[in-house]
Structure 1
C-alpha cells in the first residue's frame, strides 16, 4: 500500500501536479490546501490577502478526483471565503481532501477541527481555522485495518515555533486519531504541520506511539525550490510500531508544489 501526503499549494502547479498524481496513483492521498469552488466553471481564480496574491486552481478538488477515478474523494472544508476573477468575487471553499482507492473499504472516519471551527463567511483572521481527517480502512492484501490521518497545521506569521495554539492542535489531532484507531492498528499520521522539528507536537504524538520518519531518516527539507524562506521543514509523516515500513521518501522531483510529496510504502 502506498500512502502519499502533500500540501498541494492550491493547485498553483496544476499541470505537473496532475501528471504526477496520475502516474503515481497512491492508494491513499492526503492532500492539504485544496480549493473547491462549486459555483464557478472557471479554471483559475486569484487569492488575495493583503500583499499575498496567489493563483488558485478554482476546482482543484474536482481536478484531482478526475485524475484518480478509482478513488473515493472526500473534501473537508475549513472555511469559505472569496477568490477573485478579476474584480468579481467568487465563493470558494478551502481545506483538506483525502482520496482512498475504492478497493479499500472505509470502515470508520472522523473529520474535526484542530483550531477554531468552520468559518462560513470568510477565511478569517490569522491564525485561521484548521481541520484534520482520519480514516480507518481495511487492507485485503494484508488482511488488516490501517488508520491514516492528516492535518494542515496553523500558519503563524511569527514562525514555526511552539505556541499554546499549536500545543492545543497537537493534542486535538491525537484525540481525533484515538477516536478511530483500534488497539493493534497500524497508524499513519501526516500533514503540513507548519512546525519546527523540535516542536512539542512530536512529544504529544509520541504519547500515542507515533514517531516521525522525515527527521529520523535524515531528510534535510520538505520544501521545493518554489519556497524561498528560511525553515525548510513543514511536512511530516509519523507511524506507530505496527506499521511495517517498506519504503519512505521525500520526493524532490518532480516539483509539483512548494512542498515535497511524502511517500510511504507499507
Structure 2
C-alpha cells in the first residue's frame, strides 16, 4: 500500500499536479489546501488576503476526483469564504480531502477540527479554522488494518514557533487518530503541520508512540523551490510501527506545489 500526503497549494501548479497524481495514483491520497466552489464553473479564481494574492483552482476537488476516478473521495471543509472573479465574489469552501482507491475498503472514518470549528460565513481571522480527517482501511496485500489521519495545521502570522494552540492541535489530532484506530492497526498520522522540527507540538505525537519519518530518515526539506521564505520544513509523516515501512520518500521532482509530496510504502 502506498500513502501520499501533499499540500496542494490551492492547485496553483494545476498543470503539473494533475498529471502527477494521475500517474502516481497512490492507494490513499491525503491532500490539504483543497478548493471547492460549487457555484461556479470557472477554472480559476483569486484569493485575496491583504497583500497575499494567490490564484486558486476554483474546483480543485472536482479536478482531482476526475484524475483519480478509481478512488472514493471525501472533502472536509474548514471554512467557506469568498474567492474573486475579477471584482465578483464567489462563495468557496476550503479544506482538505482524502482519496482512497476502491480496492481498499474504508471500514471507519472520523472528521473533526484541530483548531476552532467550521466557519460558515468567511475564512475568519488568523489563525483560522483547521480540520482533520481519518480513515481506517483494510489492506488485502498485508491482510491487516491501517488507520491514516491527516490535518492542515494552523497558520500563525508570527511564524511556526510553539504555541499553546499548536500543542492543543496535536492533542486533538491524536484524539481523531485514536477515534478511527483500533488496537493492532498500523497507524499513520501526516499532514502540513506548519511546525518546525523539534517542536514541543511534534514531541506530543512522538511521546504517544509515533515515529517521525521526515527528519528521522534524513530528509532536509519538505519545501519546493517555489517556497521563497525561510524554513524548509512544514510537512511530516509519523507511524506507530517502523518495521512495516518498505520505503519512504520526499519527492523532489516534479514540483507540483510549494510543498513536496511525502510517499510511504508499506
Same fold (TM over 0.5): yes
Contact 1:7-1:257 at 8 Å conserved across structures: yes
Alignment of 1:176-195 (within 5 A): 176-195=176-195
Cα displacement (A) at 1:105: 0.8
Give the count of matched residue pairs. 266
The equivalent residue for 2:94 is 94
Cα displacement (A) at 1:143: 1.1
3-state DSSP of counterpart to 2:215: helix
Contact 1:111-1:131 at 8 Å conserved across structures: yes
Q: Which ranges of structure 2 fall in alignment gaps of 5 or more residues?
A: none
The equivalent residue for 2:203 is 203
Cα displacement string for residues 65-121 of structure 1 (whole angstroms, at most 9, x for unaligned residues): 000000001000000000000000000000000000011111111000000000000
Cα displacement (A) at 1:202: 2.2
Contact 2:211-2:242 at 8 Å conserved across structures: no
Q: Which ranges of structure 1 fall in alignment gaps of 5 or more residues?
A: none
Cα displacement string for residues 231-266 of structure 1 (whole angstroms, at most 9, x for unaligned residues): 110000001126600110100100000000000000
The equivalent residue for 2:221 is 221
Question: 2: CA distance between counterparts of 1:190 and 1:46?
Answer: 28
The equivalent residue for 1:36 is 36
Question: 1: CA distance between counterparts of 2:60 and 2:222?
Answer: 22
Question: 2: CA distance between counterparts of 1:208 and 1:181?
Answer: 14
3-state DSSP of counterpart to 2:236: strand
Distance 1:223 1:242, change over 3 A: closer
Alignment of 1:85-234 (within 5 A): 85-234=85-234
The equivalent residue for 2:15 is 15
Over 4 Å off, 4+ runs: none
Cα displacement (A) at 1:214: 0.2
- More displaced stretch, 159-168 vs 236-245: 236-245
Question: 2: CA distance between counterparts of 1:87 and 1:195?
Answer: 35
